[in-house]
Amino acid sequence: MTALVIAEHDNASLKGSTLHTITAAAQCGGDVHVLIAGHQADAAAQAAAKVAGVTKVLVADGPQFADGLAENVAAQALALAAGYAHILAPATAYGKNILPRVAAKLDVAQISEITKVVAADTFERPFYAGNAIATVQSSDATKVITVRTTAFDAPADGGSATVESVTAVADSGKSSFVSREIATSARPELTAAKVVVSGGRGLGSEENFKILDPLADKLGAALGASRAAVDAGYVPNDWQVGQTGKVVAPDLYIAVGISGAIQHLAGMKDSKTIVAINKDAEAPIFSVADYGIVGDLFEVVPALVKELG
């Protein structure tokens, strides 16, 4: 029984999401192979070979894979699918885009965003915005799975997998990459950060959001936001934490001026420690917070920065 992990990478390096997925793949039992479909992605392939638990890295090289188009990467995974009991990808924009295509072509169900491997054919996954957890069993020959990365630890280094080239599938010719606009940030990546400071509508403006900067700097935190803050245009949309944004599970999550709508809680309630700063004592965020301060964020946040020294 062997599992194939479709690696998310940028050709030069492996994304952290891939590491967490490898852990989930290993829990399915058996060997773990990693597919790097990319263009001149030797560095990413070498990185994958060093991950503990990986026994083989398969490299499909070609310009048609350079930008991770779903049509081409899914076709490549399908070309290799025979013989694998499990095919996994991270439940990120990348993995979720590709994997259902693979499942449909194999005529199997796909299991989305698993948070636990119960057995090789049985998994737990949240639904209804995290308000219920389903335990599902698949009787399909191949289990096709996306993995909620925050639910699995990253494996250690120390692997020495063999790297093997595979025949690349041809370009589908039906889609092409045009451009990419990546928001630049010196802060840690939101989904990987140990501390996240998030702001909501209570901040009131794009300008006011800067009040969170010193706090984030002090804690080495990533900055996040509620959907209300994103929709109001205070911050870019890739900051959004929630059911329709990113799911995070840091050691410390500080929610500032966020009421705590169901859709937001779905993205952060697995954080180890949650702190809420809100002037409304009735705000639902206090029902999940370990520590709450009822007060004006414009006074509390600077005071907190000062107290941290």
Partner 1 sequence: MKVLVPVKRVVDYNVKVRVKSDQSGVDIANVKMSMNPFDEIAVEEAVRLKEAGKATEIIAVSCGAPQSQETLRTAMAIGADRSVLVETDIELQPLAVAKLLKAIADKEQPQLIILGKQAIDDDANQTGQMLAALLDWPQATYASKVEIDGDKAKVTREVDGGLEVVSLTLPAIVTTDLRLNEPRYVTLPNIMKAKKKTIDNLKPADLGVDVAPRLKTLKVSEPAGRAAGIIVPDVATLVDKLRNEAKVI
43-62 residues near partner 1, rule: CB under 8 A: none
Cα 270–273–279 angle (5° rounding)?
A: 105
Task: State which of positions 140-179 bind partner 1 (CB under 8 A).
Answer: 140, 172-179
Q: Which stretch binds partner 1 (CB under 8 A): 18-26, 50-58, 161-169, 232-240?
A: 232-240
Question: Is 110 part of any known ligand binding site?
Answer: no
- Residues between 61 and 90 with contacts to partner 1, criterion CB under 8 A: 67, 69-71, 74
| 166, 133 Cβ separation under 8 angstroms | no
Question: For residues 272 and 298, what is the distance between their CA atoms, to the nearest angstrom?
Answer: 25
Is 242 marked within a binding site? Answer: yes
Instruction: Considering only residues 238 through 267, tell me which ones interact with partner 1, judged by CB under 8 A.
Output: 238, 243-244, 246, 251-252, 262-263
The minimum distance between CB 56 and partner 1, in angstroms, equals 26
Q: Is 80 helix (H, G, I), strand (E, B) or coil?
A: helix
- Distance from chain centroid for Cα 102: 19
Contacts of 258 (CB under 8 A, 6+ apart): 198, 199, 200, 201, 202, 226, 264, 276, 278, 283, 285
Q: CB of 75 within 8 A of CB of 53?
A: no
Judged by CB under 8 A, the residue of 136, 154, 163, 166 near partner 1 is: 136
The dihedral sign for the CA sequence 186, 209, 213, 280: negative
In the numeric block, which tokens belong to residue 6? 């479709």
Q: What are phi and psi of 9, to 5 degrees?
A: -155, 170
Q: Of the listed pieces 33-41, 79-87, 103-111, 150-158, which binds partner 1 according to CB under 8 A?
A: 103-111
Distance CA 64, CA 35 (A): 15
* CA 300 to the chain's CA centroid: 31
By CB under 8 A, what part of segment 2-41 binds partner 1? none
244 annotated to a ligand binding site: yes
The answer to whether the annotation marks 258 as part of a ligand binding site is yes
- Residue 59 CB, nearest distance to partner 1 (Å)? 23
Task: Say if residue 160 carries a ligand binding annotation.
Answer: no
Q: How many residues make contact with partner 1 (CB under 8 A)?
A: 88
Least distance (Å) between residue 186 CB and partner 1: 14
Residue from 1, 12, 63, 93 touching partner 1 (CB under 8 A): that is 93
Is 308 one of the binding residues for partner 1 (CB under 8 A)? Answer: yes
Question: Which segments are annotated as binding site for FAD?
Answer: 201, 226-227, 240-244, 257-264, 278
Binding residues: 201, 226-227, 240-244, 257-264, 278
